[in-house]
């Protein structure tokens, strides 16, 4: 006689030692669903050396659903094992719930590695109508978009009670004392975020005598793109080499928000416009500094995400019309010097409860 699975959901992950946004999101999502129904979830660590086919077979058999935030870690490191787990889940008639954060912004080689996971999924959870439409418009796998459901994305990082000092924070504080305009940009640096576009805006501010210092709190994504090389080449062309700082990996949330405390304003000139999947935007908002970003491409981008919409409506996120010249962004940043710092309450747990309920609704 076949016994009932012990868990409602098995989460695929790469273990707590893997420091990446994808893995962190998976752990927080599992914890949030566990709060709704304690004891309902289990996890399976998949690395190059952990989880044999037999281990995966047993783990998949212990749950009714397999949840995979693909890729579970940096895309080149662990690809085969998650796909094997999803294939075994289908073979064992377990429901596969795939979490997919982006599509059109991915390099074409990455999209190829994602396609098997999309095919194996019963349901695909996405966070942005724009990303869903990008998948639907794909000439090869566009039909898969009919599997998609939307969920509200929360931020990965919660503003801590205190902040930590660092050499970079001291440098930013000194720059402010010298009358420099500190502009922030948080998160991994890759082509989809148009990091070079902010450089052009910085050059305009420099021409106007505002002495900008642009701080990118994050690091370049290692991949097939030459984003880091082109970034510094462009900074040199604009005579901004001494006006740009890239922090690299920052180990603690306290240190991250320590850096945020010295920022006058954040700016994201995005070619695709603001989407509901921009977790980095939600992290920055918690600092209470003005955040200036390109408006969304779709009018319904935030219809499924009332908390995100509320941030826009009350002015915590300032939208710049799509197609605006760089001068418009520069003017908004300059005016931000006159805006007060607003530390509104941010219901971090509530944001995560929303996404947990949305994902849980897809489980059998």
- Residues making up the chain, counted from first to last: 364
Is 162 a member of any domain?
no
Check residue 2 and give its pLDDT: 58
* pLDDT of 295 over the 60 cut: yes
Which range among 53-57, 105-109, 223-227, 321-325 shows the weakest confidence by mean pLDDT?
A: 223-227
* Same domain, residue pair 337 and 208: yes
Q: In the block, which residue shows the tokens 């935007």?
A: 281
Is 120 a member of any domain?
yes
Determine the Cα–Cα distance for residues 353 and 168; give it in Å rounded to an integer.
34
* pLDDT of 74 over the 60 cut: no
Beta carbons within 10 angstroms of residue 310's beta carbon = 13
* Same domain, residue pair 137 and 278: no
Is 55 a member of any domain?
yes
Is 294 a member of any domain?
yes
* Same domain, residue pair 175 and 284: yes
pLDDT category of residue 313 using cuts at 50, 70 and 90: very high
* Same domain, residue pair 206 and 341: yes
Average pLDDT, the chain: 90
pLDDT mean over 93-105: 93
pLDDT category of residue 79 using cuts at 50, 70 and 90: confident
Question: Which range of residues forms the domain containing residue 127?
Answer: 7-154+351-360
- Taking a C-beta distance cutoff of 8 angstroms, is the pair 335, 320 a contact? no
* Same domain, residue pair 147 and 179: no
* Same domain, residue pair 82 and 37: yes
User: In whole angstroms, how far apart are CA 293 and each of 206, 266, 270?
Assistant: 20, 8, 7
pLDDT category of residue 331 using cuts at 50, 70 and 90: very high
Determine the Cα–Cα distance for residues 202 and 356; give it in Å rounded to an integer.
39
DSSP states along 11-79: EEE--TT--SHHHHHHHHHHHHHHHHSTT-EEEEE--SSS--HHHHHHHHHTEEEEEEESSSSSTTTS-
* pLDDT of 105 over the 90 cut: no
- Taking a C-beta distance cutoff of 8 angstroms, is the pair 154, 348 a contact? yes
Determine the Cα–Cα distance for residues 144 and 136; give it in Å rounded to an integer.
7
Phi, psi dihedral angles at 192 (to 5 degrees): -60, -25
Q: In the block, which residue shows the tokens 């902010």?
A: 198
pLDDT mean over 188-193: 80
CATH number, domain containing residue 258:
3.40.50.2000
* Same domain, residue pair 140 and 85: yes
* Same domain, residue pair 259 and 289: yes
Peptide bond into 191 cis (omega under 30): no
Determine the Cα–Cα distance for residues 48 and 111; give it in Å rounded to an integer.
21
Q: pTM here?
A: 0.89
CA 170, 311, 359, 110 torsion-angle sign: negative
* Same domain, residue pair 221 and 305: yes
The token duo for 274 is 């603001």
pLDDT mean over 315-332: 94
pLDDT mean over 337-342: 73
Is 161 a member of any domain?
no
Q: What is the DSSP letter of 236?
A: H
Is 331 a member of any domain?
yes
Is 46 a member of any domain?
yes
Residues 6+ apart with CB under 8 A from 40: 7, 8, 9, 33, 34
Q: What is the DSSP letter of 189?
A: B
* pLDDT of 71 over the 90 cut: no
Determine the Cα–Cα distance for residues 73 and 50; give it in Å rounded to an integer.
14
Which range among 239-248, 275-284, 300-309, 330-339 shows the weakest confidence by mean pLDDT?
A: 330-339
323: left (phi over 0), alpha (psi -120 to 50) or beta: left
Which range among 21-25, 55-59, 263-267, 324-328 shows the weakest confidence by mean pLDDT?
A: 21-25
pLDDT category of residue 223 using cuts at 50, 70 and 90: low
Check residue 191 and give its pLDDT: 77
pLDDT category of residue 19 using cuts at 50, 70 and 90: low
pLDDT category of residue 1 using cuts at 50, 70 and 90: very low
What is the total count of domains within the chain? Answer: 2
Q: What is the DSSP letter of 283?
A: H
Is 2 a member of any domain?
no
* Same domain, residue pair 186 and 124: no
* Same domain, residue pair 110 and 183: no
* Same domain, residue pair 109 and 185: no
* pLDDT of 91 over the 60 cut: yes
Check residue 205 and give its pLDDT: 96
pLDDT category of residue 78 using cuts at 50, 70 and 90: low
């Amino acid at each position: 006689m076949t016994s009932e699975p012990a868990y409602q959901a098995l989460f695929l992950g790469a273990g707590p030692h893997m420091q990446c946004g994808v893995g962190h999101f998976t752990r927080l999502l599992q914890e949030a669903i566990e709060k709704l129904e304690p004891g309902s979830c289990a996890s399976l660590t998949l690395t190059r050396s952990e989880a044999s086919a037999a281990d995966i077979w047993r783990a998949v058999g212990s749950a009714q659903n397999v949840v995979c935030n693909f890729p579970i870690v940096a895309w080149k490191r662990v690809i085969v094992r998650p796909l094997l787990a999803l294939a075994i889940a289908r073979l064992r008639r377990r429901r596969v719930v795939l979490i997919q954060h982006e599509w059109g912004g991915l390099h074409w080689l990455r999209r190829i590695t994602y396609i098997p996971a999309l095919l194996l999924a019963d349901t695909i959870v996405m966070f942005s109508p724009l990303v869903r439409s990008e998948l639907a418009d794909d000439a090869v796998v566009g039909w898969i978009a009919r599997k998609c459901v939307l969920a509200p994305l929360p931020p990965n990082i919660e503003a801590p009670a205190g902040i930590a000092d660092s050499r970079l924070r001291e440098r930013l504080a000194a720059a402010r004392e010298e009358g420099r305009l500190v502009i922030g940009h948080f998160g991994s640096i890759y082509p989809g975020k148009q990091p070079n576009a902010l450089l052009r805006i910085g050059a305009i501010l420099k021409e106007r005598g505002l002495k900008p210092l642009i701080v990118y709190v994050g690091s370049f994504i290692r991949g097939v793109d030459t984003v880091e090389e082109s970034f510094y080449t462009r900074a040199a062309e604009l005579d901004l080499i001494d006006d740009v700082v890239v922090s690299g990996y920052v180990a603690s949330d306290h240190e991250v928000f320590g850096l945020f405390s010295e920022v006058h304003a954040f700016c994201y000139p995005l070619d695709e416009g603001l989407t509901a999947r921009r977790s980095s935007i939600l992290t920055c908002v918690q600092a209470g500094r003005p955040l200036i970003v390109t408006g969304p491409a779709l009018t319904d981008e935030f219809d499924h995400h009332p908390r995100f919409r509320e941030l826009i409506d009350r002015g915590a996120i300032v939208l710049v019309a799509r197609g605006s010249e760089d001068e418009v962004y520069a003017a908004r940043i300059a005016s931000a010097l006159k805006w007060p710092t607003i530390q509104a309450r941010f219901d971090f747990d509530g944001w995560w409860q929303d996404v947990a309920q949305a994902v849980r609704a897809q489980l059998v």
